[in-house]
Structure 1
């Protein structure tokens, strides 16, 4: 494995959780191996490790982009990542309200539904306390 891959794998685990990443990597096959390596090296190793903006800000940007693209599975994964990166439910709500104007109300409504599910799970995992699990 390359240094980029290893850096990316570490950031991916920090943001999305080691358990989530382990599940993703356990599902790697000969067919999808290259895309997992690309995502880990490029997205997480090259982009998420840059110093230009914080992980917290990257998370908020991802939520807006994933709402615009209607990528619900990835959106849910990144809501949890946003919480891990220190984003508050209030900040997530504000981003989703912003997406209603620029991406459309149906997309924002779907993201609100998905975020509500993740926030409820987060509250249970953290025993109702705010912040990291």
Structure 2
């Protein structure tokens, strides 16, 4: 945290959720790359995205994962799409779930966005399968 106070409950909840979804290895790498410049941003996403939105009980992590992948694909956020496809190993979203989400992207956000996200998902699946971690 940027000041000397202890982290907020929302930050702690967010960090636990972030680690549960993305995995310790990813979060540790992100934390080790944090600088004074982006520390406030890291705190913001940990509290707001992970501590507030991802930690809400109305949707499961699987459902949030599916929605997140579709939104990121629609916005053309390639690195984030890949990261969240990898995270499905922790959220329970299946390859079928991802395919269905990307079909929705094709209709509601455009075929090129879905086509590109499908290419990214296939690359991630190949990496996962090569590492022996596939479904």
TM-score (normalizing by structure 2): 0.90
Q: Secondary structure of the equivalent of 2:92? A: coil
Gaps of 5+ in 2: 1-6
Could you say which residue in structure 1 is the equivalent of 2:87?
A: 81
Could you say which residue in structure 1 is the equivalent of 2:3?
A: none
Across the two proteins, how many residue pairs are aligned to each other?
A: 129
TM-score (normalizing by structure 1): 0.91
- Give the direction of change, closer, same or farther, for the CA distance of 1:84–1:41 in structure 2 (3 Å limit): same
> 4+ runs of 1 displaced by more than 3 Å?
none
Gaps of 5+ in 1: none
Could you say which residue in structure 1 is the equivalent of 2:126?
A: 120
Larger Rg: 2
Structure 1 Cα separation of the partners of residues 133 and 18 of structure 2: 25
Structure 2 Cα separation of the partners of residues 59 and 108 of structure 1: 16
RMSD: 1.2
- Give the direction of change, closer, same or farther, for the CA distance of 1:52–1:128 in structure 2 (3 Å limit): closer
